[in-house]
Structure 1
Amino acid sequence: MPVIRHARAGDVDRLAEIGLRSWQSAIAGLADGEKMRRVAEAAFLRFLFDHWLSVLLVEGEGAICGWVACENFDNAISDLWIEPQLQGRGFGGLLFAEIERRIAADGFDAATTKTHARNDRAVRFFRNHGYGVSWLSTAYAPQLDSDVAFIGLSKSLEQSPDH
Structure 2
Amino acid sequence: MVVIRRATEADITAIAAVGSSAWASNIFSFEPELPGMRMHVEKAFREFARSSYNTVLVAQLEQTLLGWGAREENNDYISDLWVDPAVQGQGVGSSLLREMMAAIRHAGYLKARISTHARNIGAIRLYQREGFNIVEQGPEWSTSLEREIDKVQMLAELK
User: TM-score when scaled to structure 1?
Assistant: 0.93
Which residue of structure 1 lines up, in the alignment, with residue 147 of structure 2?
146
Cα distance in 1 for partners of 2:85, 2:105 equals 28
Gaps of 5+ in 2: none
Partner of 1:97: 98
Match in the other structure for 1:161? none
Q: Which residue of 2 aligns with 1:131?
A: 132
Q: State percent identity of aligned pairs.
A: 31
- Report the residue type matching 1:93 in the other structure: S
1:86 aligns with 2:87: yes
Q: Deviations over 1:42-98 (max 9, x none)?
A: 111111111111000011143110000000000100000000010011111111111
Q: Does 1:27 align with 2:27?
A: yes
Q: Greater CA deviation, 67-76 or 29-38?
A: 29-38
Tell me the C-alpha RMSD between the 2 structures.
1.2
In structure 1, the partner of 2:111 is 110
Deviations for 1:143-162, whole angstroms, at most 9, x for unmatched residues? 1122101100010001xxxx
For residue 139 of structure 2, give the secondary structure of its aligned residue in structure 1: strand
In structure 2, the residue matched to 1:4 is 4
Structure-2-length-normalised TM-score = 0.95
Describe the superposition over 1:4-31 as per-residue Cα deviations: whole angstroms up to 9, x where unpaired: 1110112111110000010001212213
SS of 1:143's equivalent in the other structure is: coil
Counterparts of 1:137 and 1:73 in 2: how far apart (Å)? 25
Residue 138 of structure 1: how far off its partner (Å):
0.6
Cα 1:33/1:97, change in 2 over 3 Å? farther
Count of aligned pairs: 158
Equivalent residue for 2:59?
58
Range 69-78 or range 54-63, more displaced: 54-63
Q: Answer yes or no: is the 8 Å Cα contact 1:27–1:33 preserved in 2.
A: no
SS state of the match for residue 48, structure 1? helix
| Contact 1:24–1:33 under 8 Å retained in 2 | no
